[in-house]
């Protein structure tokens, strides 16, 4: 899990690449969309404005084809994240949903307003608590993607 302090930091680090620029485009368009309805920018990104807490559950979720990127507009949220190989898979990967589920323990992180989180594909995460949450949730294809710190 990559935690960024701000949208400006994201823009600085991920300024190269069409899909990363589309993330910024989507975030800057949030004033024009309805909450909890998915929208898309091109074929590499789907996004929605979320009001209220994420679905908290006992299992961790992991993805293979898409990165999850969350930008926090209001409130805060606690997220647990761990490498998949340190967890126990309880439901196999589904190509239809791009999800696989795990059990185990992980380090918790409190994410605050203004921060961004990128969930990497070798990890799984779960949400455990939220306060007055509003965020942009982006699903970004892994194709043509890289992280500068890898």
Q: In CATH, what number is assigned to the domain containing residue 120?
A: 2.60.120.370
Residue 118 lies in a domain: yes
Q: Exposed, middle or buried, 21 (CB in 10 Å: 0-12/13-18/19+)?
A: middle
State the residue for tokens 């909890």. Answer: 36
Residue 90 lies in a domain: yes
pLDDT score recorded for residue 148: 46
Residue 11 lies in a domain: yes
Q: What is the span of the domain harbouring residue 81?
A: 2-141
Contact 74, 132 (CB under 8 A): yes
Rounded Cα distance between 16 and 136, Å, is 21
User: H helices of 17-128, where?
Assistant: 18-28
Q: Which helix (H) or strand (E) holds 43?
A: none
Residue 75 lies in a domain: yes
Residue 148 lies in a domain: no
pLDDT score recorded for residue 20: 86
Q: What is the pTM of this model?
A: 0.88
Residue-by-residue pLDDT tens, the chain, 150 positions = 999 999 999 999 988 778 888 899 899 988 888 887 888 877 778 999 998 777 777 899 999 999 999 999 999 999 999 999 999 999 999 999 999 999 999 999 999 999 999 999 999 999 987 888 999 999 998 876 444 443
Tell me phi and psi for residue 31, to 5 degrees.
Answer: -70, -15
Residue 29 lies in a domain: yes
pLDDT score recorded for residue 8: 93
Q: Residue 65: count other Cβ atoms within 10 Å of its Cβ.
A: 12
Rounded to a whole number of angstroms, the CA Rg of the chain reads 15
pLDDT score recorded for residue 39: 87
Residue 150 lies in a domain: no
Q: Tally the domains of the chain.
A: 1
pLDDT score recorded for residue 9: 95
Question: Residue 21 in 3-state DSSP?
Answer: helix
């Amino acid at each position: 899990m990559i935690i960024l302090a701000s949208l400006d930091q994201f823009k600085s680090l991920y300024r190269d690449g069409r899909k990363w620029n589309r993330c910024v485009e989507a975030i800057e368009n949030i004033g024009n969309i309805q909450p909890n309805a998915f929208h898309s920018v091109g074929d590499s990104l789907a996004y929605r404005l979320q009001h209220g807490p994420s679905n908290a559950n006992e299992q961790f979720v992991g993805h293979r084809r898409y990165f999850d990127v969350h930008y926090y507009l209001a409130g805060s949220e606690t997220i647990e994240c761990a490498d998949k190989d340190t967890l126990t898979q309880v439901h196999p990967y589904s190509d239809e949903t791009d999800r696989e589920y795990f059990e185990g323990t992980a380090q918790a992180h409190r994410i605050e307003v203004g921060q961004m989180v990128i969930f990497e594909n070798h990890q799984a995460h779960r949400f455990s608590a939220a306060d007055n949450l509003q965020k942009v949730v982006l699903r970004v294809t892994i194709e043509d993607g890289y992280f500068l710190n890898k």
